[in-house]
Amino acid sequence: MTLSGPVGAQQREKIAKIGEFDLRGDSTLGTGRKLFRQSLRELGYTEGKNVIYETRSAEGNLDRYSALAEELVRLKVDVLLTTSPDETLAAKNATKTIPIVFFAQSDPAASRLVDSLARPGGNITGITTIATELSGKRLELLKETIPTLSRVAVMWNPKMSGESWKESQLAARELGLQLHSMEITSADKFGSAFKEAIKAGNAAMAVTQNPIISSNQKQIVALATKSRLPAIFPRGDYVTNGGLMSYGADQAEPYRRGALIVDKILKGAKPADIPIEQPTKFELVINLKTAKQIGITIPPQVLARADRVIK
């Protein structure tokens, strides 16, 4: 005679395995990843109990993403998370079956990552950044702030597939602005890039969103202030750190909503059937202290639209 205990005692709760990338290689979690994990906890996922995170670092080297993605696939993770277009592409090339959820992708349909926003198809879904529209809005705000503006330096990284030079050019044509390509491929390029931008006669700067630039924001803000170059940034934390102004999608929203998408997938939903979401919350932040420091007066109509003003 075989004795058996209750079925519940024999069954162990399945542990979800989530794979993720880290560009910098330090042990601290960024704000976005903290928010994501907190949101998953609120949905009932406790680290070590029913979810574990497999984090692989690129140690600052973008070329490592492909090998890291393949490593995570070999670990048979249940979901792959990506926070930059380069990570998404590496994950896509590594697997056609493991679900991939991205938090930052400019135009996933145009880049052929998915079939459409409504029905992605395949194994990829997530939240798009609508970068083209945001690039245009930032240039528009600069033009409103400085009505005589004709030349703008655009800081971007040609080695990364984040917000691009092309997206800014499309918006500039509508506004009658000439753009200067301020290319940043590594942290040691910032000083020379600012000198070239000033020498070329640029009266303002628009900063695009990508990891190398984001991880050096304090240096960028300091150089912009020293150069007395009015700058608009993609995130509010640049302005908190002394930048002049920023306009972008709410930084917390993609991670909170991404947790809901991951929850659906872990409960059996297919990425192919989960519509790609777009940002719904946007924020204009202005630092009046910095404006005074660099000799800029923010027009009342621009100031009136600010969601946050730092004095």
Instruction: Report the DSSP beta bridge partners of residue 245.
Output: 232, 286
Query: In the prediction, which pLDDT does 105 show?
Result: 80
**Close Cβ partners of 285 (under 8 Å, ≥ 6 residues apart):** 236, 239, 240, 245, 246, 247, 306, 307, 308, 309, 310
Q: For the chain, how many helices (H) and strands (E)?
A: 13, 12
Query: In the prediction, which pLDDT does 182 show?
Result: 93
Tens digit of pLDDT for each residue in 191-204?
999 999 999 999 99
Q: How confident is the model at residue 1 (pLDDT cuts 50, 70, 90)?
A: very low
Q: How confident is the model at residue 12 (pLDDT cuts 50, 70, 90)?
A: low
Same fold: 12-128+251-273 with 131-249+282-310: yes
Tell which CATH architecture fits domain 12-128+251-273. 3-Layer(aba) Sandwich (3.40)
Q: Compare 300 and 214 and report the one with higher pLDDT.
A: 300
Tens digit of pLDDT for each residue in 47-100?
999 999 999 998 878 889 999 999 999 999 999 999 888 899 999 999 999 999
**Residue 187 DSSP one-character state:** G
Q: How confident is the model at residue 162 (pLDDT cuts 50, 70, 90)?
A: low
Beta carbons of 83 and 21 less than 8 angstroms apart:
yes
Q: How confident is the model at residue 2 (pLDDT cuts 50, 70, 90)?
A: very low
Global pTM reads 0.81
Q: Name the nearest CA neighbour of 36 among 252, 208, 182.
A: 252
User: Of 8-17, 107-116, 179-188, 261-270, which has the strongest mean pLDDT?
Assistant: 261-270
The CATH code that applies to domain 131-249+282-310 is 3.40.50.2300
Q: Compare 57 and 29 and report the one with higher pLDDT.
A: 57
Domain boundaries, the chain: 12-128+251-273, 131-249+282-310
- The CA-atom distances, in angstroms, between 53 and each of 47, 75, 224 are 8, 11, 38
Query: What tokens were used for 271?
Result: 């990425």
The backbone region for 146, taken as left when phi is positive above 0, alpha when psi lies in -120 to 50, beta otherwise, is beta
Q: In this prediction, what percent of the chain has a pLDDT beyond 70?
A: 93
- Alpha-carbon distance of 126 to 32, in angstroms, equals 14
CA angle 265, 269, 270 (to 5 degrees): 95
